Structure formats: structure tokens, C-alpha cells
């Protein structure tokens, strides 16, 4: 119930919350500001927070210095590719588990969840060797395959928790009216499932975009997505704060915006439905 | 109701997911176990031979393993304590009536969406750098000598970076749990004269128990495998001061090319993660029935 709160208390609480919120957000804000400085201003002491010569030259130079756009596209292709491929494989499975559950459905779900718990180092060596021998190292195809597989359990689970909420009676009615299984999926289930699928899509693009174990280990230059490309700035000759900031800003901006729209789905997706 | 026909269709629809995941789990794991019993170095091709448990013996008695195990536990424990306590505090704060609540929430959640290599490099260069970093400037303006974070307190620095990334996750989950708490229950307790502290201890905290457990378990799974943050900041050093199990196995395999030894390390990491996984699967399974 709406409780009466004194304005004074609300003001104090707001001040505390805003201060802490801005502190937490500050590294991102600082990166954004630094990306518009010259390299000299970026390392100047004392640092200037707003009053410096704003420039966008870093954004152009990041592209010149290394093919930024290529890596950006690698990220786009790998995260979208693995997400769509994952959905294609997972939608039928989640549908089957949600609407014709058997005694073993729960066991299958739990088993899928358990595959997600295997630490990646347990699989790193064989996957690296298989990729090396199969010519998949540093290819977009290889990264799409691995990211599809590591996110598949989350995709199945998320879709399952959304599909579970679709009332089964509607499907029964469609079946009674003589709808075949494919028709049932296309005309009845899909329209109701779209919001759940969209949420799953969003969360998985975010997760794949930021995945940094497999992308770092399985890509070098050609297929390196932004995670691996940004890591190249850790070498001493790459100590250009303004350019690092520009490259980082472009790498995180799209996902940050998507992420803000998917707060709720994030909770559901990452807790496997345990917290809603 | 479901007929035999739909059941076989269902099985067919599940088949791709099940087969792919089974292959993804079984093939690499089987190969890792197999490699872990071989003397197998990429620099000496064709010299592979069965060595029994020798790889495990070397890996487990290597001083680096003890350091890595300790670091792994410190990293997981440190980040967990910061994010759980901070997450509860932030959730309680954001649950209050405040101006611009939505915007503050967006600010707090943002770090979760920053890719690990970016957050590690931004912290390393722009904050923790002993010459040009913001922290160095702050300590100099107070007349202190700047601290070289990644050289003198490497593990703690990494804990700070990783905690910054995971605090939003904890906050978001705690907040979700908090918002499902019945307000009337709190009101009733307040009317019965319960103070803010006892209301928190006896009503809010028990209500959040499950959310806290979920955060602990899920973060643990991810934190056991922290990798990118270490790779771009310290490379596990100085020495092994910031090497965790994941990084140790990576270094042994892809820097020293010791496939046998690294595989043994990988299996040790799998066993460690499984201990956590058993608890998590039980918890979520129980929830599935409810």
C-alpha cells in the first residue's frame, strides 16, 4: 500500500541513491567522456571533467588504426548467428516440454541446466584441438557453433518458462478444430509465444555479445569479435586512453541500450525461472 | 490429451537440443579425461604415452595449484560478499520511494552489460594506473603516494573489478524479490511496534532468502571461471598472485602446451564446479515443483 512518506525523508533517500548510482555508473561515464578527449588531455593531471576541447577524432582513428568495423561486424554476426541458431534448435524442444510433458521432462530440463555448470576449462583443450584440426580456429563459423551450444540451455529454459504460461486449453481447442501440429505451432502458438521469444532473443544477444572466454581463446584477428579486439589494447603499445575509450564506447553502447530494455527478462533468464 | 502420436512428435522435437547438448558435454569431457592420463605436449608430437595419474600428481602438488585454488576461493568469496551485501543495500534503497527511481536503477544496472575485457581495461588504465589513473590523482591530491593497484594488490584489484560487474546482477535479483514482498505484512509488523531493524531481520531477510541463495549459486558458477579480467589486467601475476584455476589451466595448455597436465587441471576444476552445481540443481528443481 502507498504509505505516507515525508518529503524530507524522500529527499534524503533520493540524494543517497543518486550519489551511489552515479558512483557505480561513473566508470562508464568516464569512458564516454574520455573518448572525446585528445590523448594528451586523457592523461592530463589534474583531469578535466567537462571543460576540455571536445573532439571526435578518436572514433575515426580507431577505425584507421585497426579495422574496427570488421570486429564490430564479427560481434554482430556471431551474437545474432548463435542466437538465431539457438532459437531454431530450442523452440521445438521447449514447445514439446511445455505442452506434452512426460515423466522425464523435468529430468531433461535439470540435465540441460547441469551442462551449463561445466566450467569452460573442462572443454577448452579438446575444443581447441578439434578447431585447430578442423580449420575452425579464428572463424566466425566456429564461434557461432560454440556460442550456440553454450547458450542453448539458457534458451531452452527461458522459452520453457514462457511457454509454460500459455494456457494449454487454447491448444486443445485448436486441436479439436482439427489443426495439425505444424498449423498449431504456426497459427496458435507462435503469436502467443512471440513476446517470450523476443525476450529470449534479447538476453541471448547480450550474453553472446559479451562472452569473453571462448571468443578470446578461439579467435585471433580475422574473426575476433569486439571482446577479443578490445583485449588487444592491453598491450603496452596500445596505451591510448582516448582511443581505448572510443573503441569501448562503441562496443558497449548498443548492448547497454538493449540491456536497459531487458531488465526483467535478465532476472528470469539468468535464474532459470527461480526468481521472477 | 496428449496421444502417442504427439509424444513421439515431442521426442522428435527435443532430439536436436538433447543430442547437441549431450555431444557438447560428453565429447570434450571424455577427451579431457582421456588426455589427463597421457603425457601429451604439443611441442613433442607423437610422443604421447599413458602415464596413469602422474598428471594429477604433478598438478595437485604444484605450488601454483595451491596458489590458484586459494585465489579462486578468495575471488569467489570476495566478490560474493561485496555483491550480496551491496546488492541487498542497493535493493533496499531502490525499493524506497525516491525521485527518479527508474533512472537510478538504470545507472546501477549498467555495469552488467559492459563486456569483461572493456571493464577490466577501463579500470586498469583509467582508474588503477599508478601514473595516469584517476585513483592516483585522488591520492596525490590528498598528499599520499599513489598505489600501484595491479602490482601490489593484484587479486584485490581484480575482486573490485569483478564485483563492480556483478553488483548489478545481485541488486536486480534482490530488488525483484523485495518487490514481491507483501507490504501489508510490513505494515502489520510496524503497527505491532517492530522497529526497522527487526522488520528487516524477521520479515525482509527471510523473504529474500531464496533470492540470496540463487545469487550465491549462480554467481559462484560464473566466478569460478573468471578469465578475461585476469588475462587483460595481470596475466595471472605477479608470479601466481592473481592466477585462478581457470587461468592456470589456460596457461598450462595454450602457453606451455602441456595438454596432459592442463587436462588434469580441467578435470579438477570440473569436480569443484560440480560440488556447487549439485546444490544449485537441487534448489531450482525444488522450485520447479512449487
A268 vs A20: which has the higher pLDDT: A20
What confidence score (pLDDT) does residue A221 get? 84
| Contact assessment for residue B118 and residue B112, using Cβ atoms and an 8 Å cutoff | no
Helix (H) or strand (E) holding A248: helix A241-261
| Contact assessment for residue A123 and residue B270, using Cβ atoms and an 8 Å cutoff | no
The beta-carbon neighbor of A47 closest among B17, B137, B259 is B137
Nearest-CA distance B101 → chain A (Å):
8
**CB contact set of A144 (below 8 Å; sequence gap of 6+):** A77, A78, A81, A82, A85
The beta-carbon neighbor of B24 closest among A22, A97, A115 is A115
Cβ-based contacts under 8 A for chains A and B: 310
Which chain A residues touch B112 with a CB distance below 8 Å? 259, 266
Domain containing B122 — which CATH number? Answer: 1.10.3720.10
Q: Which of A59, A79, A98 is the last residue of a domain?
A: A59
- The answer to whether position A2 is within a domain reads no
A 49-88 → B contacts, CB under 8 A: none
Same domain, A36 and A71: no
Over residues A81-91, the mean pLDDT reads 94
A 191-230 → B contacts, CB under 8 A: 206, 209-210, 212-213, 216-217, 226-228, 230
Cell triple for B160: 573490485
* CA torsion, ordered A95, A99, A100, A102, to nearest 10 deg: 100
| Contact assessment for residue B107 and residue B113, using Cβ atoms and an 8 Å cutoff | no
User: Tell me, what's the ipTM?
Assistant: 0.87
Q: Give chain A's end-to-end CA distance (angstroms, integer).
A: 21
- The answer to whether position A74 is within a domain reads yes
Cell triple for B283: 534448489
Separation CA B169–CA A270 (nearest Å):
9
| Contact assessment for residue B273 and residue A118, using Cβ atoms and an 8 Å cutoff | yes
The beta-carbon neighbor of A108 closest among B14, B97, B112 is B14
Same domain, A134 and A153: yes
Same domain, A53 and A134: no
What confidence score (pLDDT) does residue A4 get? 61
Nearest-CA distance A69 → chain B (Å):
17
- The answer to whether position B229 is within a domain reads yes
Provide the number of structural domains found in chain B: 1
What confidence score (pLDDT) does residue A238 get? 53
**Bridge-partner residues for B49, per DSSP?**
B39
- The answer to whether position A276 is within a domain reads no
A 234-273 → B contacts, CB under 8 A: 234, 239, 241, 244-245, 248, 251-252, 255-256, 258-260, 263-264, 266-267, 270-273
Nearest Cα to A151, choosing from A200, A213, A86, A199? A86
Which chain A residues touch B7 with a CB distance below 8 Å? 100, 102
Same domain, A227 and A132: yes
- The answer to whether position A162 is within a domain reads yes
Separation CA A77–CA A85 (nearest Å):
11
User: For all residues of chain A together, what is the average pLDDT?
Assistant: 86
pLDDT digits (tens, 9 = 90+) for A15-65: 999 999 999 999 999 999 999 998 888 887 788 888 888 888 888 888 887
- The answer to whether position A1 is within a domain reads no
What confidence score (pLDDT) does residue B288 get? 58
What confidence score (pLDDT) does residue B4 get? 59
The DSSP symbol for B211 reads H
pLDDT digits (tens, 9 = 90+) for A184-235: 777 877 788 888 888 889 889 998 999 999 999 999 888 999 999 888 887 7
Q: State the sign of the Cα–Cα–Cα–Cα dihedral B118, A28, B179, A161.
A: negative
Helix (H) or strand (E) holding B160: helix B154-179
Same domain, A117 and A224: yes
Q: Nearest chain A residue to B266 by CA: give it.
A: A122
The CA-CA-CA angle for residues A193, A194, A196, to 5°, reads 70
Same domain, A41 and A162: no
| Contact assessment for residue A232 and residue B231, using Cβ atoms and an 8 Å cutoff | no
pTM: 0.89
- The answer to whether position B247 is within a domain reads yes
| Contact assessment for residue B113 and residue A252, using Cβ atoms and an 8 Å cutoff | yes
The beta-carbon neighbor of B32 closest among A43, A110, A126 is A126
Which chain A residues touch B124 with a CB distance below 8 Å? 234
Same domain, A46 and A151: no
**Bridge-partner residues for B239, per DSSP?**
none
What confidence score (pLDDT) does residue A237 get? 53
The percent of residues above 90 in pLDDT, for chain A, comes to: 37
Which structural domain range is residue B103 located in? Answer: 62-257
Same domain, A88 and A163: yes
What confidence score (pLDDT) does residue A179 get? 77
Nearest Cα to B75, choosing from B147, B162, B171? B162
A 123-182 → B contacts, CB under 8 A: 123-129, 149-150, 152-153, 156, 181
- The answer to whether position A196 is within a domain reads yes
Domain containing A156 — which CATH number? Answer: 1.10.3720.10
Which chain B residues touch A245 with a CB distance below 8 Å? 122, 126
Same domain, A25 and A104: no
Separation CA A127–CA B31 (nearest Å):
9
Same domain, A159 and A226: yes
- The answer to whether position B15 is within a domain reads no
3-state secondary structure of B260: helix
- The answer to whether position B54 is within a domain reads no
Mutate to test the interface with B, among A15, A115, A125 (most CBs of B within 10 A): A125
Mutate to test the interface with B, among A42, A102, A119 (most CBs of B within 10 A): A119
- In whole angstroms, how large is the CA radius of gyration of chain B? 24
Residue A131 has pLDDT above 90, yes or no: yes
Provide the number of structural domains found in chain A: 2
Neighbours of A218 (CB within 10 A): 24
Cβ contact, residue pair A47, B134, below 8 Å? yes
Which structural domain range is residue A245 located in? Answer: 67-270
The CA-CA-CA angle for residues B220, B180, B285, to 5°, reads 45
Spans of chain B, pLDDT less than 70: 1-6, 284, 287-290
Amino acid at each position: 500500500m502507498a504509505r505516507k512518506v515525508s518529503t524530507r525523508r524522500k529527499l534524503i533517500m533520493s540524494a543517497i541513491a543518486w550519489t551511489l548510482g552515479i558512483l557505480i555508473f561513473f566508470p562508464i561515464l568516464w569512458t564516454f567522456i574520455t573518448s572525446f578527449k585528445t590523448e594528451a588531455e586523457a592523461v592530463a593531471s589534474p583531469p578535466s571533467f567537462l571543460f576540455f576541447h571536445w573532439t571526435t577524432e578518436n572514433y575515426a582513428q580507431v577505425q584507421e588504426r585497426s579495422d574496427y568495423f570488421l570486429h564490430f561486424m564479427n560481434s554482430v554476426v556471431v551474437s545474432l548467428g548463435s542466437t538465431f541458431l539457438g532459437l531454431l534448435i530450442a523452440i521445438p524442444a521447449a514447445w514439446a516440454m511445455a505442452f506434452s510433458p512426460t515423466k522425464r521432462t523435468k529430468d531433461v530440463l535439470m540435465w540441460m541446466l547441469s551442462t551449463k555448470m561445466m566450467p569452460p576449462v573442462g572443454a577448452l583443450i579438446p575444443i581447441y584441438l578439434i578447431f585447430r584440426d578442423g580449420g575452425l580456429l579464428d572463424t566466425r563459423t566456429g564461434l557461432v557453433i560454440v556460442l550456440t551450444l553454450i547458450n542453448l540451455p539458457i534458451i531452452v529454459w527461458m522459452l520453457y518458462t514462457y511457454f509454460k504460461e500459455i494456457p494449454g486449453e487454447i491448444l486443445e481447442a485448436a486441436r479439436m478444430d482439427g489443426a495439425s501440429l505444424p498449423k498449431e505451432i504456426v497459427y496458435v502458438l507462435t503469436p502467443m509465444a512471440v513476446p517470450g521469444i523476443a525476450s529470449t532473443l534479447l538476453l541471448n544477444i547480450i550474453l553472446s555479445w559479451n562472452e569473453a572466454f571462448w571468443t578470446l581463446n578461439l579467435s585471433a584477428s580475422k574473426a575476433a569479435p569486439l571482446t577479443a579486439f578490445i583485449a588487444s589494447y592491453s598491450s603496452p603499445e596500445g596505451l591510448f586512453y582516448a582511443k581505448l575509450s572510443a573503441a569501448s564506447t562503441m562496443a558497449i553502447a548498443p548492448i547497454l541500450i538493449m540491456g536497459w530494455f531487458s531488465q526483467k527478462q535478465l532476472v528470469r533468464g539468468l535464474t532459470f525461472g527461480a526468481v521472477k | 490429451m496428449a496421444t502417442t502420436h504427439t509424444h513421439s512428435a515431442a521426442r522428435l522435437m527435443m532430439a536436436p537440443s538433447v543430442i547437441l547438448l549431450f555431444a557438447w558435454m560428453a565429447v570434450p569431457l571424455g577427451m579431457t579425461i582421456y588426455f589427463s592420463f597421457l603425457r601429451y605436449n604439443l611441442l613433442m608430437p607423437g610422443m604421447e604415452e599413458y602415464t596413469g595419474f602422474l598428471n594429477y600428481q604433478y598438478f595437485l602438488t604444484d605450488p601454483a595449484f595451491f596458489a590458484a585454488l586459494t585465489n579462486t576461493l578468495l575471488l569467489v568469496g570476495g566478490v560474493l560478499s561485496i555483491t550480496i551485501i551491496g546488492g541487498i543495500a542497493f535493493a533496499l534503497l531502490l525499493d524506497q520511494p525516491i525521485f527518479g527511481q527508474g533512472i537510478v536503477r538504470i545507472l546501477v544496472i549498467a555495469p552488467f552489460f559492459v563486456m569483461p575485457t572493456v571493464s577490466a581495461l577501463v579500470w586498469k588504465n583509467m582508474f588503477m594506473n599508478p601514473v595516469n589513473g584517476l585513483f592516483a590523482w585522488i591520492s596525490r591530491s590528498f598528499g599520499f603516494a599513489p598505489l600501484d593497484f595491479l602490482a601490489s594488490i593484484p587479486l584485490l584489484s581484480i575482486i573490485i573489478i569483478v564485483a563492480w560487474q556483478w553488483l548489478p546482477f545481485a541488486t536486480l535479483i534482490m530488488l525483484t524479490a523485495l518487490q514481491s514482498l507483501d507490504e501489508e505484512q510490513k505494515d502489520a509488523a510496524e503497527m505491532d511496534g517492530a522497529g526497522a531493524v527487526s522488520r528487516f531481520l524477521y520479515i525482509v531477510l527471510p523473504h529474500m532468502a531464496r533470492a540470496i541463495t540463487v545469487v550465491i549459486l549462480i554467481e559462484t558458477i560464473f566466478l569460478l571461471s573468471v578469465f578475461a579480467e585476469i588475462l587483460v589486467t595481470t596475466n595471472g601475476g605477479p608470479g601466481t598472485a592473481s592466477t585462478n584455476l581457470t587461468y592456470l589451466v589456460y596457461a598450462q595448455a595454450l602457453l606451455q602446451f602441456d595438454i596432459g597436465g592442463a587436462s588434469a587441471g580441467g578435470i579438477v576444476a570440473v569436480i569443484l564446479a560440480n560440488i556447487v552445481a549439485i546444490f544449485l540443481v537441487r534448489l531450482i528443481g525444488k522450485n520447479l515443483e512449487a
